[in-house]
């Protein structure tokens, strides 16, 4: 077991993998069985369908853009192979589509009405979320044709949905197979590939957060999911220039890393290996976009930038001596849970009800904070030592983003200084997952570090 270096295992060897007797105590399973990342991979679709789906009619899910990118050709190939395919366009008159309950319900109703044998999702983020959710609800097999190297959710077992204006994640079945033809990926706009690169780069921050919650609070952790994407992320960074040029050679490296990052989440049984405090900030910006009518930037564009915030915080933490924490006033953010709820209700307005259970679980009173700080101090060296292996400097991460032509400031995201301040202060409340955003509050440094840390993304 220990001899296995998962960072160097080819993607093909991770597919269908089952690990029993892992030292972490869990059994790890990868449900995705087949992936093709080569040029011309789309031609393999009829073969994939024959291998993984029963006979019967298929439904192909697309939008206007992905129809042109690969959908039209996919239908032609399937029909030539004798398959009946019905088309399901998720957008209406080219309006941007959301993965919301209604969009999923429409697809589910059609799958049931047409007695569909299998679902072919042709698209990236939103179509992927809609298809994974509908496939899970109906128990149908899903094959995904990726059209952009824009995010790491293709192979993950989580889908992001908008419910009553609030972004939530739900467990789901990943596709049985993924086809990602680098030439198709290169036909997507460059900012989408740059977003995938940004999502990938958040690994430095999210891994550190996952390690932090393990070392400090004893939360579940396993090293295998961390290893799975490690080498691939490093290779993508080396290919940043080719990714910037949106060339198939660079995008095949990037998509390999993104699929591995999705598999890392499946192995961990949660998004922890790829989603920490930097993702909470990004999710909060998505959840509050309707307050100002702002159109959110792509997920990976945002997480690339918010990673710089987490890394700047870790940089401060790594050089902070415990005496400074000991001398800090021990004052909880809110004197009582009622005071916290009242403030969060006024701050989060229409989204407060959905996040309140998460916030309650994080509340610490005076005694709770004293015990937490004691714990932090007793493990300070261990925390610093453990996270230092995962993080890089924000300056280096920013250089990587620049090299790949990705966004690296809030201006590039359409985020204002106020929205940045807001997320820095409050993002930690939207999810009961311990991240660097919580640690900074627990050691009393949130306000002191604010301006310096936020300067890293301006
Ligand atoms: Zn394990
Ligand atoms: Zn992400």
Give the model confidence (pLDDT) of 144-183 as tens digits: 999 999 999 999 999 988 887 667 889 999 999 999 999 9
Q: Which domain holds residue 180?
A: 31-187
**Considering the domain boundaries, does residue 55 fall inside one?**
yes
Question: What whole-number distance in Å separates Cα of residue 127 and Cα of residue 107?
Answer: 11
Question: How high is the pLDDT of residue 2?
Answer: 45
Q: How far is the CA of 21 from the centre of ligand 1 (A)?
A: 8
Question: How high is the pLDDT of residue 4?
Answer: 76
Same domain? 301 vs 428 = yes
Same domain? 182 vs 81 = yes
Question: What whole-number distance in Å separates Cα of residue 304 and Cα of residue 409?
Answer: 9
Closest CA to 156 of 130, 183, 129: 129
Closest CA to 369 of 338, 337, 345, 346: 337
Q: How far is the CA of 329 from the centre of ligand 2 (A)?
A: 35
Give the three-class secondary structure for 107: helix
Q: How far is the CA of 387 from the centre of ligand 1 (A)?
A: 19
User: Considering 160, 187, 214, which residue would you say is the last residue of a domain?
Assistant: 187
Same domain? 166 vs 294 = no
Q: How far is the CA of 82 from the centre of ligand 2 (A)?
A: 38
Beta carbons of 173 and 283 less than 8 angstroms apart: no
Give the number of domains in the chain. 2
Q: How far is the CA of 22 from the centre of ligand 1 (A)?
A: 5
Q: How far is the CA of 275 from the centre of ligand 2 (A)?
A: 6
Q: How far is the CA of 25 from the centre of ligand 1 (A)?
A: 6
User: Considering 159, 187, 215, which residue would you say is the last residue of a domain?
Assistant: 187
Q: How far is the CA of 247 from the centre of ligand 1 (A)?
A: 36
**Considering the domain boundaries, does residue 205 fall inside one?**
no
pTM of the model: 0.96
Residue pLDDT tens, the chain, 458 long: 445 789 999 999 999 999 999 999 999 999 999 999 999 999 999 999 999 999 999 999 999 999 999 999 999 999 999 999 999 999 876 666 788 999 999 999 999 999 999 999 999 999 999 999 999 999 999 999 999 999 999 999 999 888 876 678 899 999 999 999 999 999 999 999 999 999 999 999 999 999 999 999 999 999 999 999 999 999 999 999 999 999 999 999 999 999 999 999 999 999 999 999 999 999 999 999 989 999 999 999 999 999 999 999 999 999 999 999 999 989 999 999 999 999 999 999 999 998 999 999 999 999 999 999 999 999 999 999 999 999 999 999 999 999 999 999 999 999 999 999 999 999 999 999 999 999 999 999 999 999 999 999 99
Ligand closest in space to the Cα of 195: 2
**Considering the domain boundaries, does residue 67 fall inside one?**
yes
Q: How far is the CA of 418 from the centre of ligand 2 (A)?
A: 23
Same domain? 80 vs 183 = yes
Q: How far is the CA of 279 from the centre of ligand 2 (A)?
A: 6
Ligand closest in space to the Cα of 18: 1
Question: What whole-number distance in Å separates Cα of residue 356 and Cα of residue 361?
Answer: 9
- 178: CATH: 3.40.50.1970
**Considering the domain boundaries, does residue 368 fall inside one?**
yes
Same domain? 174 vs 279 = no
Ligand closest in space to the Cα of 224: 1
Give the three-class secondary structure for 274: helix
Beta carbons of 223 and 386 less than 8 angstroms apart: no
Strand partners, 245: none
Question: How high is the pLDDT of residue 98?
Answer: 83
**Considering the domain boundaries, does residue 417 fall inside one?**
yes
Q: Give the distance from CA 320 to its chain's centroid.
A: 29
Beta carbons of 384 and 313 less than 8 angstroms apart: no
């Amino acid at each position: 077991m220990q001899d296995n270096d998962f960072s160097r295992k080819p993607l093909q060897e991770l597919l269908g993998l089952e690990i029993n007797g892992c030292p972490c105590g869990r059994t790890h399973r990868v449900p995705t069985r087949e992936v093709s990342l080569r040029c011309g991979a789309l031609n393999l679709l009829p073969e994939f369908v024959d291998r993984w789906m029963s006979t019967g009619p298929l439904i192909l899910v697309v939008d206007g853009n992905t129809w042109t990118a690969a959908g039209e050709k996919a239908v032609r190939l399937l029909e030539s192979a004798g398959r009946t395919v019905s088309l399901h366009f998720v957008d209406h008159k080219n309006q941007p589509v959301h993965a919301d309950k209604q969009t999923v319900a429409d697809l589910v109703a059609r799958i049931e009405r047409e007695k569909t044998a299998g679902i072919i999702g042709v698209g990236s983020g939103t179509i992927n979320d809609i298809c994974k959710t509908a496939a899970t609800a109906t128990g149908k097999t899903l094959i995904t044709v990726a059209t952009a190297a824009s995010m790491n959710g293709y192979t993950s077992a989580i889908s992001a949905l908008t419910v009553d204006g609030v972004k939530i994640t739900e467990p789901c079945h990943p596709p049985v197979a993924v086809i990602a033809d680098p030439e198709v990926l290169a036909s997507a706009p460059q900012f989408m590939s740059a977003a995938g690169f940004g999502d990938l780069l958040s690994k430095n921050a999210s891994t550190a957060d996952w390690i932090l919650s393990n070392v400090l609070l004893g939360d579940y952790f396993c090293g295998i999911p961390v290893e799975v994407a490690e080498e691939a992320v490093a290779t993508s960074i080396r290919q940043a220039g080719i990714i910037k040029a949106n060339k198939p050679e660079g995008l095949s490296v990037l998509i390999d890393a993104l699929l591995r990052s999705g598999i890392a989440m499946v192995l961990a049984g949660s998004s922890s290996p790829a989603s920490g405090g930097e993702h909470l900030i990004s999710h909060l910006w998505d959840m509050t976009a309707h307050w100002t009518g702002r159109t959110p930037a792509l997920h990976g564009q945002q997480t690339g930038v918010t990673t710089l915030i987490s890394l700047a915080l870790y940089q401060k933490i790594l050089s902070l001596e415990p005496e400074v924490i000991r001398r800090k006033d021990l004052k909880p953010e809110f004197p009582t849970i009622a005071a916290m709820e009242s403030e969060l209700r006024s701050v989060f307005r229409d989204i407060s009800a959905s996040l309140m259970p998460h916030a309650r679980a994080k509340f610490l009173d005076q005694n709770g904070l004293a015990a937490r700080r004691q714990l932090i101090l007793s493990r300070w060296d261990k925390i610093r030592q453990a996270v230092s292996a995962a993080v890089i400097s924000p300056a280096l991460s920013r250089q990587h983003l620049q090299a790949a032509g990705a966004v690296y400031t809030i201006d590039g995201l359409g985020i204002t200084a106020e929205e940045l301040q807001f997320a820095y202060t409050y993002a930690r409340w939207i999810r009961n997952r311990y991240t660097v955003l919580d640690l900074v509050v627990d050691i009393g440094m949130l306000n002191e570090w604010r301006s310096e840390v936020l300067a890293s993304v301006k």
